[in-house]
Amino acid sequence: MQSASKFKVGLVQMAASPDAEDNLARAVSFIEQAARLGAKVICLPELFRSQYFCQREDAALFDLAEPLPGPSTETIGRVAREKNVTVIAPIFERRAAGLYHNSAAIIDTEGNVSGIYRKMHIPDDPSYYEKFYFTPGDLGFRAFDTSVGKIGTLICWDQWYPEGARLTALRGANVIFYPTAIGWHPREKEIHGAEQHEAWRTIQRSHSIANGVYVAAVNRVGHEKPADGAAGIEFWGSSFLSDPFGVVIAEASTNREEVLIGEVDPARIEEVRRNWPFLRDRRIDAYNGIDQRFLDVIEEHE
Amino acid sequence: MQSASKFKVGLVQMAASPDAEDNLARAVSFIEQAARLGAKVICLPELFRSQYFCQREDAALFDLAEPLPGPSTETIGRVAREKNVTVIAPIFERRAAGLYHNSAAIIDTEGNVSGIYRKMHIPDDPSYYEKFYFTPGDLGFRAFDTSVGKIGTLICWDQWYPEGARLTALRGANVIFYPTAIGWHPREKEIHGAEQHEAWRTIQRSHSIANGVYVAAVNRVGHEKPADGAAGIEFWGSSFLSDPFGVVIAEASTNREEVLIGEVDPARIEEVRRNWPFLRDRRIDAYNGIDQRFLDVIEEHE
């Protein structure tokens, strides 16, 4: 069997300004740049159209949401069609009054929204008050057909869950994208910063290894300080592409906007999965219980 | 709530000689050494009583198997009782004629076999012909009560499967041990050795991160060459203990026998899980399909 052709992916590591139109215009410009560099699939960071508004809970901020398809996907659809690229565009989705999602639109080479992923795992931690804004996704874990084969996308907090990566890979994705908005609390950075960044990098590389897929983590950069004088979040960039054995083959800086280009080689997936045939030996007869919160109660009744 | 007390674990990184009695005697000596150094739970490498016989398929080698409980657990039980320690003793288990398992006995501080784990994921690759020898385990993924709280054990190839670690953690294990026999093919070492070792380390550290547990990988050392003149396997040692955020807090050499001591701090588990509450946000309503081999067929019928 001949493997499919190699192709390039573009990871847009960008900062967000307070101006949504400016963010969209710059995203378009980065997509054009990635396309010039040969990328066929281009991914923007989570919620790229705005600063990371979840640092506080404010119902007025639902004004930032938009329908899907909507203005952002329309603008990005034009550049996708013009450049003949697939774009993963993370959108704050307004589905109905009082019903909002942290979503990603798959925009195909015709410029249409050909798929939607809605963030399944929603965090809620100091300065990341996402449970206030985002209804948990109801579309499950998916893979999407593109001109270069199947890809999947998950979003940020999903990256800590092996189940999400596994299900996306079982759907046939060869690359899993993780548009992200993660950073350091300035007061924690010196003591915990290095280990937080390393844990984030490690868990995503592990999804490459467990599933024999490429993983593309696409983070924002910039220190975003809320108006209330709080210390804010220093987004750590460090976008990277890991190969199907977890080797990081492209990696961006911690603090600069950049378009990171990496190559996906289906023959490498074939090679790794032949030599490390983890999918062959899964004990699918014995994973019951994984859909339980904790297995303490079952123990007690045994 | 006050967390439980800290305790030490002992990871016995040893080589195997062709003499099963010698291996057992040295294992006892290493257990005594680990106990002197303060370890309360001590883990031996996979199949520690023999050289790694799975490098070839030979029905005569089933003679190496023994019942469980049996001679090895009896000898180890004596030292466990004497030193007041829990021991994880990997045993080539003869369950019935024609029915053998790659198992681990949990030997309690009274010297009794208080639990058995049977390797669930069985590899089969050149020089690792395990599917010939070992019937896949039928006891599932477990946690065992000990004098220092719940621990789990999985074995070697299991380490590549996030599902096994997850289920063991959901059963309440605070530490997951991975007795192991993994090494380099000498002909591959120069080109692929570093990335193989790094993938092995990464996937196990990721189980710490995803589940907020300590992970103890316990590997053998030594270059074992079969009599047929084959190149054999150079077992890479590198036993390590990672904390609940994936930080490696103790690590052994690649080529020397040693008893590695590391500290488990339940308060660290509490701290990491409070600040990175992954268990809180699992989408247990949406993991259906994870018990399927691949999700291609379902796609086609949608």
Query: What DSSP string runs through B204-222?
Result: HHHHHHHHT-EEEEEE-EE
pLDDT digits (tens, 9 = 90+) for A278-295: 999 999 999 999 999 999
Closest residue in chain A to residue B299, using alpha carbons only:
A171
Q: What amino acid is encoded at A227 in this protein?
A: A
Question: Which pLDDT score, from 0 to 100, does residue B60 have?
Answer: 97
Active site residue A57: no
Residue B227 lies in a domain: yes
Number of structural domains in chain A: 1
The model's pLDDT over B99-148, given as tens digits with 9 standing for 90+, comes to 999 999 999 999 999 999 999 999 999 999 999 999 999 999 999 999 99
Using alpha carbons, select from B67, B69, B76 the residue that is nearest to residue B42. Answer: B76
Retrieve residue B286's tokens.
């949406």
Domain span at residue B72 reads 7-275
Q: Which of residues 230-249 of B touch A (CB under 8 A)?
A: 245-247
At A106-157, the pLDDT tens digits run 999 999 999 999 999 999 999 999 999 999 999 999 999 999 999 999 999 9
Interface touch A205/B206, C-beta < 8 Å? yes
For residues A267-276, average pLDDT: 98
Q: From CA A163, how far away is CA A166, in angstroms rounded?
A: 5
A277 in reach of chain B (CB within 8 A): yes
Residue A281 has its nearest CB partner, among B123, B162, B278, at B123
User: Residue B2 pLDDT > 70, yes or no?
Assistant: no
Region for A140 from its dihedrals, namely left if φ exceeds 0, alpha if ψ lies in -120 to 50, beta otherwise: left
Is A172's CB within 8 Å of B245's CB?
Answer: no
Residues B156 and B132 sit within 8 Å (Cβ to Cβ): no
Strands (E), B192-256: 214-219, 221-224, 233-236, 240-242, 248-251
Q: Is the ipTM of this complex over 0.90?
A: yes
Is 0.80 surpassed by the pTM of this model?
A: yes
CA of A105 vs chain B CAs: smallest distance (Å): 20
Q: H helices then E strands: how many in chain A?
A: 7, 15
User: What's the CATH number where A36 sits?
Assistant: 3.60.110.10
Neighbours of B25 (CB within 10 A): 12
In the three-class reduction of DSSP (H, G, I as helix; E, B as strand; rest coil), residue B69 is classed as coil
Helix (H) / strand (E) containing A24: helix A20-36
Q: Which of B8, B40, B43, B46 is catalytic?
A: B46
Residue B227 structure tokens: 């009599």
Q: Which of A84-88, A105-109, A186-190 is predicted with the least confidence, judged by mean pLDDT?
A: A186-190
Residues 6+ apart with CB under 8 A from B120: A283, A286, B136, B137, B140, B141, B154, B158, B164
Q: Is B156 a catalytic residue?
A: yes
- On chain A, the residues whose CB falls within 8 A of the CB of B120 are 283, 286
- Give mean pLDDT, residues B256-282: 98
**Contact between chains at B279 and A294 (C-beta distance less than 8 A):** yes
DSSP β-ladder status, B214-219 and B175-180: parallel
Q: Is the pLDDT of residue A301 over 80?
A: no
Q: Which residues of B touch A203 (CB under 8 A)?
A: 206, 209-210, 246
Q: B229: pLDDT confidence band, cut at 50, 70 and 90?
A: confident
**Closest residue on chain A to B280 (Cα):** A293
Q: Of A13-27, A224-238, B12-26, where does mean pLDDT reach its minimum?
A: A224-238
Return mean pLDDT, chain A: 96
Q: Does residue B112 form part of some domain?
A: yes
Q: Are the C-beta atoms of B161 and A210 separated by less than 8 Å? A: yes
CA–CA distance, B79 with B109 (Å, rounded to integer) = 9
Contact A210 B120 (CB under 8 A): no
What is the DSSP code string of B108-152? Answer: -TTS-EEEEEE--S---BTTB-HHHH-PPPSS-S--EEETTEEEE
Decide which of A227 and A120 is more confident: A120
pLDDT band at B298 (very low <50, low <70, confident <90, very high): low
- In chain A, what residues touch B246 (CB-CB under 8 Å)? 195, 198-199, 202-203
Q: Is B93 an annotated catalytic residue?
A: no
Tell me how far apart the alpha carbons of residues B52 and B196 are, in angstroms, rounded to a whole number.
Answer: 19
Cβ–Cβ < 8 Å for A115, A177:
no
Q: Give a yes or no: residue B295 inside a domain.
A: no
pLDDT at residue B78, as a whole number? 98
For chain A, positions 97-126, list CB contacts with chain B under 8 A: 120-123, 125
Question: pLDDT grade, residue A227 (50/70/90)?
Answer: confident
- C-alpha B208/C-alpha B203 separation (Å) is 9
The answer as to whether B300 is a domain residue is no
Amino acid identity for residue A68 in this structure: L
Q: Is residue A281 in a domain? A: no
Two tokens, residue B163? 């599902």
pLDDT in tens, A44-82: 999 999 999 999 999 999 999 999 999 999 999 999 999
Question: Does the residue B298 lie in any domain?
Answer: no
Q: Do B246 and A202 lie within an 8 Å CB cutoff?
A: yes
The dihedrals phi and psi of B214, each to the nearest 5 degrees, come to -75, 145
Contact B129/A at CB under 8 A: no
- Cβ contacts below 8 Å, chain A against chain B, sum to 163
B198 interfaces chain A, CB cutoff of 8 Å: yes
What number is the average pLDDT over the span A156-165?
98
Contact A100, A132 (CB under 8 A): no
Judge whether A244 lies within some domain.
Answer: yes
HSE (side-chain half, CA atoms, 13 Å) at B148: 23
Please report the pLDDT score of residue A1 as a whole number.
59
Cβ of residue A136 closer than 8 Å to a chain B Cβ:
yes
Within 141-180 of B, beta carbons closer than 8 Å to A belong to: 141, 157, 160-164, 166-167, 170-172
Q: Is A188 on the interface with B (CB under 8 A)?
A: no
The burial class, CB within 10 Å (0-12 / 13-18 / 19+), for B189 is: middle
Does A43 reside within a domain? yes
